[in-house]
Amino acid sequence: MHLGPEFIRQLGYVLLAVLQDGVFVLFAYQSVMSLFAFFQRRKPPLRDPVTRFAVLVAAHNEAHVISDVLDSLIRQAYPRELFDVYVVADNCADNTADVARGRRAIVYERTDTVLTGKGHAIGWLLTRIKSTGTSYDMIAIFDADNLVSANFLREVDRYAQAGYRAVQGYLDMKNPGDTWISLSCAIGYWCTNRFWELARSNIGLASMLGGTGSCMAMSLIDEIGWNPHSLTEDLEFTIKCVLQGVRPTWAWNAHVYDEKPLTMRASWNQRMRWMRGHFQLGFRYSGPLWKRFFTRFDMAAFDILVYLGQPIWMVFSYLLVLVNVVIHFTHMAVPVWASAGIVLPSVWVALFTFEWFAPPMLVAALLLEKVRPKYWWGVFMFAVYGLTWLPLDFIALFTRNDQTWFHTIHKQAAVSSK
């Protein structure tokens, strides 16, 4: 059979139409999901606290900031006999361990130059805690640069008593106003909190564990295990929960304040680690997630697949818009049968692509999250910041097996309220 130029051109139109329609469906799905972010379902009732917590803080050369997170944990409005604070001083070359001991934390010092990173440090610490024979109901994980709202454990306790085995707190920012980079990070998190975490928790899908402010039942860890194979142990544990039939929920009144990078270089390195881990998990777990979706019609599994594929279909959306611009301005002839599958969806793809970086959408998130107007100018810079994800995603995809852990330097102590 001779494959002439016309056949190849027609085949190209078919592939373009199928790809674009697929991207359109995914954007439409996410936009429909976002509609569930305009309300908050009733929380479980607040009962007398009973959940016993092991609070874990992983620290690498954080002597200058760790006292603040430990002080905020000591000030928890929660019975002191129901939680212990543990610090793993991981490959530290400063006096992080001494500072933590001075704040009455139980400190373990770890030296391992092979299995580096927070995920391995937490796993190592869990093994040490279990060896003591002390019994806990849940763990709560925080970073050394965090500040934790005084009601955090009290809020998580209400979900634990209602039967939830994995709970994510509200990821807020310590330093949104420091630079346009930290403000862009903050806006991204405020949008995610509203249009992903809250939306999913409202309809019973799986919320994403965020690495800090994440709480898991000890029994769940015993069942699933803590053996991260990626640079993003939080997302990996979320996937394992869903495959186990457990859907993490979101505690929107339990706030943890995280420090975000001030420079593009620091932000790039942090996001590169995240995205390499993201792609590692996509290749590792897409098969089991598809299997669970088709065999059990588990929408939580499908929703995680949408999340895992998000970097790819976001890039495709921009490329498809570009292709359609070329078709339009070069006056390229498009068959009538293909125009409905290419040109028409291109309008919607462009709109949905624009939606996530457009000032009206971002301002809606800031209004719903009650962010002060002095930060609203950041929505325009966020659109610029968002474009940096395109080359970053491409590089991360093809370097996903690089296990380099980039340490983010932390300096901020006080919180700049949103």
Domain that holds residue 188: 11-40+137-403
In a domain, 304, yes or no: yes
pLDDT at position 32 = 86
Cβ-count burial of 101 within 10 angstroms (0-12 exposed, 13-18 middle, 19+ buried)? middle
- In terms of pLDDT, which residue wins out, 353 or 97? 97
Single-letter residue type at 33: M
In a domain, 48, yes or no: no
Task: Dump pLDDT digits (tens) for 5-58.
Answer: 666 666 666 666 666 666 677 777 888 888 899 999 999 999 999 999 999 999
Residue indicated by tokens 């588990």: 298
pLDDT at position 343 = 46
Distance of CA 350 to the CA centre of its chain: 25
pLDDT at position 2 = 55
pLDDT band at 300 (very low <50, low <70, confident <90, very high): very high
- Range with the poorest average pLDDT among 45-54, 110-119, 128-137: 110-119
Q: Is the model's pLDDT at 68 over the cut of 60?
A: yes
Q: Are strands 138-143 and 106-110 parallel, antiparallel or unpaired?
A: unpaired
pLDDT at position 321 = 63
Q: Is the model's pLDDT at 409 over the cut of 80?
A: no
In a domain, 387, yes or no: yes
Cβ-count burial of 96 within 10 angstroms (0-12 exposed, 13-18 middle, 19+ buried)? buried
Q: Is the model's pLDDT at 87 over the cut of 70?
A: yes
In a domain, 108, yes or no: no
pLDDT at position 49 = 97
In a domain, 355, yes or no: yes
**Are 342 and 23 in contact, with CB atoms under 8 Å apart?**
no
Task: Dump pLDDT digits (tens) for 309-324.
Answer: 888 776 666 666 666 6
What average pLDDT does this structure show over 364-370? 90
pLDDT at position 310 = 82
The CA-based angle 246-249-250, given to 5 degrees, is 160
Q: Is the model's pLDDT at 369 over the cut of 80?
A: yes
pLDDT at position 18 = 66
Q: Model's pTM, two decimal places?
A: 0.86
What average pLDDT does this structure show over 233-262? 95
pLDDT at position 230 = 83
- Looking at every residue in the chain, the average pLDDT score rounds to 86
% of the chain exceeding 90 in pLDDT: 62
pLDDT at position 411 = 60
pLDDT at position 336 = 44
Q: Hey, what are 56's tokens?
A: 């874990």
The SS3 of residue 56 is strand
Q: For residue 215, give Cα distances in angstroms to 71, 229, 253, 255, 402.
A: 19, 20, 14, 13, 28
CA distance 315 to 285: 21
Task: Dump pLDDT digits (tens) for 302-356.
Answer: 999 999 988 877 666 666 666 666 655 555 555 444 444 444 444 444 444 444 4
What average pLDDT does this structure show over 248-255? 96
Q: Is the model's pLDDT at 375 over the cut of 80?
A: yes
Number of independent structural domains in the chain: 1
What average pLDDT does this structure show over 223-243? 91
Task: Dump pLDDT digits (tens) for 178-218.
Answer: 999 999 999 999 999 999 999 999 999 999 999 899 999 99
In a domain, 200, yes or no: yes
What average pLDDT does this structure show over 71-92? 96
The SS3 of residue 111 is coil
